[in-house]
Every structure is written in C-alpha cells, then in structure tokens.
Amino acid sequence: MDTSPETYFYLDLKFWSFILSLVAFLLSQLPPIKLWFKQKRLNIEVHHRVNITHKVGNPNFSFHVSLSNIGGRNLRITGMKVKVFREGKELVELPAQNYYESLKDKFAAFFVPFTLKTEEDWSHTVNYLNFFDRATDKSYRANESALRLDVQKKIEARKESDKNAVVAEPELVEPFYKLFDKLFVWEPGEYTFEIIVDTKPSTQKFVKKYRFTLFESETKELKDHIQDYKFGGGISYNVDNHVGIFVPITEYN
C-alpha cells in the first residue's frame, strides 16, 4: 500500500490554495461579517422648531423628523407618536396620522407602516393629532353644517353693497366655544415631549426627548382663533393665521 506523502491531498498546496480562493469568494457574496452582530439601531433627528396649533381646541403637533437605520438589520416602522408633558405631568399623547412626502406638497398622505433598510433614511414633516371620536365628530359635523347654513343665508339676504362680515347666531357658535374649552391644552409653561418610534418586534421602541417653552403671548395667539368662529373661520373654512406657532426646541436627556 502506497503511503508516500504525495498521496495525501491535504498536504497538497494547490488544494489549500483552491479552498482559500473558494472561501474568499463565498465571503465576498455575503454582507460584511460585522453586520451579523449588529443590533437594531435607529437614529432620530428632529428639526429645531416644531409647529403647535389646534382645531377648535383639539391639539395638533407637527415637525420634520429624520429616521436613519444605522443597525445591521431591516426595521419595520409600525408607528410613531408624541407624548407631551407640561411641568413634568403627561398632558396628551398624539399619534402620527399623516405626513408630507415633499416640502412642495399641499396635501398630506396617510402615515402607514413601512420598512427601513440598513443605512436607509426616511425624512418628512409629520402631523401628530388625535381625531375626534365618533360621537364628537358626528356632533361637530352637525353643528358645523348649521352654522355654515346660517352664514350663507345671511350673506344671500344682505344688500349687494353690504360687504361687512356676516356673524352666525350665538347659539350656533356656542358649541364650538364649549368644545374649545374642553380640548385646549396649550397653556403657558415649560414642556417636554418624547417622540416614540414603534418597530417590530413590538417590544422594541426608540425614544428621543426634547423640551420647549410656551409664553403667555403665544398661548393668547392660539386662543384668539376663537374670534373667527362666529364667522365660520377655522370651522367651515381655513384661516391663514390659524397655522399656529413655531417654537424652538432643545434636546432633553
């Protein structure tokens, strides 16, 4: 039986050269090994100013946010929300409802779950708010319809030369004042807020905190929106100065 060294393939340098070449080729087809050990990581960046307003008292919060997947795995973004605190007490929780796909867009798209691949970014202006519950929405639409009809009738009945603003009957405006008093939250004070990004699995969340201050003059500006309700402004039609206020924020740890 021939047992000379040349009969053992594992002693053949050409064999090991082939094996090393094969391993190198296979590794080149795989993601970098360091990505195998990376956890899910998400970088959150918020523009330095946020917009605060309301719809008949119902708080609205919006800002431009950038999400960057800096981990080694794809992330399924299932939702975003903002928790707002005043003087350390939780004030309101507002989910992301819609966003603007570009700065030129006039209409917002619905916010729906999406996948963010490794090293991919998502950057948009997002609106956070709670829609009216069904009972409130039904009542609001009925009251809005009555107010709008009253204003239209008065416009049609006035003289053509009369260009004065038409005012709805007080009892038709009163429901909106009451709704405002019930829902308005933007009082003067020191605020903090958390932006929370939910991902799959549902046990994993990413959070970043900021703070801002609301002054009395800013609260007054927001409350002054009610002055237009008797004309239907902010109810039946949009008013330019109801866009709210832009407030500077700072990161909070």
> Could you report the per-residue pLDDT of 112-121, keeping only the tens digit for each?
999 999 999 9
What pLDDT, on the 0 to 100 scale, is given for residue 119?
92
Q: Where in the chain is the domain with CATH 2.60.40.10?
A: 42-135+163-251
Instruction: Output the six-digit token pair for 140.
Output: 């609001």
**Mean per-residue pLDDT, 29-56:** 78
Tell me if 80 sits within 8 A of 111, measured CB to CB. yes
For 13-40, write each residue's pLDDT tens digit: 666 676 667 666 655 655 554 444 456 7
Task: Residues 42-135+163-251: name the CATH superfamily.
Answer: Immunoglobulins (2.60.40.10)
Instruction: Give CA torsion, residues 152, 155, 158, 161, to 10 deg.
Output: -160
Whole-number Å distance between alpha carbons of 90 and 246: 21
What pLDDT, on the 0 to 100 scale, is given for residue 113?
95
Instruction: Output the six-digit token pair for 169.
Output: 């009957």
How many CB atoms sit inside 10 A of residue 21's CB? Answer: 10
